[in-house]
């Protein structure tokens, strides 16, 4: 279920947000310039909390492309 929307209740509202790729293995690969744990760039990590679902899905797509090229 990587990168798919999930429903979770927050207070009295339901949040249909896209799951974060973070897995708490935060190590930046200086050669590749992305995190070894979640495969996001520093820019993507910084943008995640304010990104809309469309941009989050685009980040997931780039992650899939990166992991296919290892």
Question: Do residues 35 and 45 touch, judged by C-beta distance below 8 A?
Answer: yes
What pLDDT sits at residue 17?
A: 85
Residue 60 has pLDDT above 80, yes or no: yes
d(CA 39, CA 26) in angstroms, rounded, equals: 10
Does an H or E element contain 53, and which?
Answer: helix 53-67
pLDDT digits (tens, 9 = 90+) for 3-48: 554 544 444 344 558 999 999 999 999 999 999 999 999 999 999 9
Q: What pTM value is reported for the model?
A: 0.73
């Amino acid at each position: 279920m990587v990168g798919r929307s999930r429903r979770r209740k927050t207070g009295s509202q339901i949040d249909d947000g896209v799951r974060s790729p973070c897995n708490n293995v935060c190590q930046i690969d200086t050669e590749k310039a992305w995190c070894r744990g979640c495969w996001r760039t520093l820019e993507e990590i910084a943008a995640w909390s304010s990104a809309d679902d469309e941009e989050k899905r685009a980040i997931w797509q780039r992650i899939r492309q990166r992991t296919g090229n290892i």
